Amino acid sequence: MGKTIIVFGATGKVGCYTSIYLKEKGYNVIAVGRRKSDNDFFADYKITYISLDILKSANYEVLPQKDVYGIVHLAATLPATMNGYNPHEYVRSNLDGTLNVLDYAVKVGVNRFVYPKSWSDITYMIGSLNPIPADAPVKFPLDNDHTIYAITKNAACDIIQHYSVKYKFKYYILRFPNIFCYHPNPTYFVDGKKRWTGQRAIIEQAKKGEDIELWGNPNAARDVFYVKDCTQIIEKCLSANGESGTYNVGTGWVVTRREQIQGLIDIFGDKMHPSKIVVRSDKPDSPTYLLDISKTIGQLGFEPKYDYITYLKDLKHEMEINRFEKLWGKESDYLEGLE
């Protein structure tokens, strides 16, 4: 049996894909989530599932107390999943919860600790295609629903670095942009209100052959990053000999807004009556940015596998088979209250 890795937040989007990928790579994976039951989803992949609230330190006794090589800590309260707005939840989850996970990591003597951070801390640098370095100075936004989230994530990163130095384990902090993947939930929350995700709304329009509005500059561009490349980076953090530090997550390739929409039309659209793109230059632009992944490539040996169209084809396949239904349910389970 391979090295034991504990994935906290395993019932979330990135956590679920990561748990499965690490198992495929030969690790002994223990999936940890707050849900009381995973409906035996992880057992289908020969992965042990343990229900645990990371805020309750006494609960950690149910986890292995020795021989844990690495921890992938993905458990968090996210703005996109928060119904309403309660900044105290960010403090409890991202600070108190992370401290508990770190104390457990020290107790069992882990070698590696992997943790994601928000790209909100470098949004002051977006607006061009000048690659944003992994070690760029961080600043948090002051005026939106991500503010407290970004503050607490940055503080958690500082605490992780402190524990790493004091207790002698390697840490890898991954700056996540928007990570695309299939999940039957086609909604997210903005300032506590449920909305269609932009991509899923366009997919529905493309299926019906409806005209699709492209807001702002059609040449606005960014890296479109798929979860199955993200899981590869996480595994590299566990297996490579890269230095402790912060690493950008991405492919290094940009896709324009027009290319993004056209790709959705080509892969998901009505072939007999394909949608037309209607440019609305009077509307707000999408952000233009590119994260510099040279450090991720050089230190971790990462090689992206999914270009934009390859990703869309795989996304469509995942939507058709919905192999996560046992864990996440069906799309119809999430549509109530959608505006």
Kindly report, residue by residue over 39-81, the tens digit of the pLDDT: 999 999 999 999 999 999 889 999 999 999 999 999 987 665 5
> What confidence category does residue 261 fall into, taking pLDDT thresholds of 50, 70 and 90?
very high
Averaged over 268-296, what is the pLDDT? 95
pLDDT tens for 73-127 read: 999 876 655 566 777 888 888 999 999 999 999 999 999 999 999 888 898 999 9
Q: Exposure of 185 by Cβ count < 10 A (0-12 exposed, 13-18 middle, 19+ buried)? A: middle
- Are 238 and 27 contacting, i.e. CB atoms less than 8 angstroms apart? yes
- Are 186 and 333 contacting, i.e. CB atoms less than 8 angstroms apart? no
Residue-level pLDDT at 149? 84
Whole-model pTM over 0.95: no
pLDDT tens for 8-30 read: 999 999 999 999 999 999 999 99
Distance CA 195, CA 201 (A): 10
| 3 state DSSP class of 51 | strand
Residue-level pLDDT at 84? 65
Closest C-alpha among 14, 55, 15, 57 to residue 32: 15
Q: Which residues pair with 173 in a beta bridge?
A: 115, 246
Report which secondary-structure segment, H or E, holds 115. strand 112-118
Cβ-proximal residues to 157 (8 Å cutoff; 6+ apart), any chain? 115, 117, 173, 246
Distance CA 265, CA 189 (A): 25
What are the two backbone dihedrals, phi and then psi, of residue 81, each rounded to the nearest 5 degrees? -115, 5
pLDDT tens for 187-240 read: 887 777 788 888 999 999 999 999 999 999 999 999 999 999 999 999 999 999
Q: What domains sit in the chain, N to C, each tagged with a CATH number?
A: 4-183+225-251+291-303 (3.40.50.720)
- Are 54 and 35 contacting, i.e. CB atoms less than 8 angstroms apart? no
| 3 state DSSP class of 185 | coil
